[in-house]
Structure 1
Amino acid sequence: MPRRMRLVTWNINSLRLRLPLLEKLVRHLAPDVVCLQETKVPDPLFPEDGVKALGFEHLHYRGMKGYNGVAILSRHPLKPVTQTPVWYGKEDCRHVAATVCAPEGDVELHDFYIPAGGDEPAPETNPKFAHKLAFVEEVTEWFQSRPLNRTVLVGDFNIAPLEHDVWSHKQLLKIVSHTPPETERLNRWLQTGFVDAMRHFVPADEKLYTWWSYRNRDWKKSNRGRRLDHVWMTPDLLPNLHGMTVVREARDWESPSDHVPVVVDFSLSD
């Protein structure tokens, strides 16, 4: 039987602050690879010893002080993907990529943290929203120019593209993360050669969330969520998919992130 790989993606919202939660996640789920976003730690201060103590000997990360930051933690050797662009002309640590070198076969893995976009969905007056739209456009063009096979793309995309990826499609159409300019661009990126692995298991007409605001006193009762975190795969890996889980209970952990981890299980060989 082909060996399965368990992959987790999670916007941890400060790795050093929530290292104990990462330990809890690893203890409960035993992932082979973890992709983190919003690590909020410059590279010289990355807690390598603490992460390696969890069983991840192979690390590839890019971080800065106070915000952003992405990291791939792996039990398998990693070969960094070089020559990735400087998106939007900013060295702001929003993308890291590596080939996961497993005995059953290699997989190219991309970990993204897309700009949030500010509050106003108006690129003419909101530079943060203009940055977000341009970022997704640049990424789309780059993937269109690359041969894609055995590739997995994960991260906090800060966009909930489908009607049932938000608690109220009608009320959020003019709210950043669900506006047509964002969702249309994200769908064009998906169409460069990927499949939405989460929606492979949960039909598009069912609600699916990965984020609940800190502003909700009782997030579970109000359930005003959005699916901002995503897992995409190239079609050649789709037959190897075995399962997907949104770890909702992580939203109730002590001092939680406002995002919860997403888990996918897949085989690396037929």
Structure 2
Amino acid sequence: MNSELVPLPIVIPLFAAALTIIFGRFLIAQRVIALSALSATVGVSVALLIEADEHGVVKMDAGGWAAPLGITYVVDRLSAIMLVTSSLMLLIVLIYAIGQHGVEDHHVGFEPIYLVLAAGVSASFITGDMFNLFVAFEMMLAASYVLLTLGGRADQVRSGMTYVVISLVASALFITALALLYASTGTVNMADLAERIPELSPNVRTGFSLMLILVFGIKAGLFPLFFWLPDSYPTAPGPVTAIFAGLLTKVGVYAII
């Protein structure tokens, strides 16, 4: 199995984000780099889907360090399907943003931040442990904070502050849940947790379930935790709203699954 492909949906957008910063004065170069990177990510995602379909779960231990000490990336059919869908959507929305006069051609930081967002989304789908899921969410959310307020209008800043505060509260609850989870089981690796969680008492398991559903429910905008959505969507630029509505909240749903 070609496990070397597994981290590429994260690495390619991050490397491209750095390049687009270097070429910040050249909008055409930024566009070419961003489109090439997301096209390559789509190709790698399709290859991973074929690999997972033919050979089962594809796994890679970063740096050769096995779990639970090392960082594990895992791709199964579901995560591969999500990778293909998200990378294709990110590419299509970027093409739309380039064709639409507005946020993309007025802000030199749009492409770099957009690519960081793409890396965070991909990392959320292929990470094999809970702490790196937290890191992936923070990458994604930090980029979304910037994209939401591009333009600097007063209504954007006000809506952005609501979104930032609610997301930070959810992130604080997330890292608290992970600390308690590690204290209770000695690991945050998802495969290890599948074996150790049943050993905990029913009340402790229920407590962890409620904490994590609250965290991911806020990020997914589930009822009744969607109070940040009405303010955030109308003030964001069109392409950003498309990504928020069609992709970011769905990553929270995936995390619940």
TM-score normalized by the length of structure 2: 0.26
TM-score normalized by the length of structure 1: 0.25
> Which one has a larger percent strand, Structure 1 or Structure 2?
1
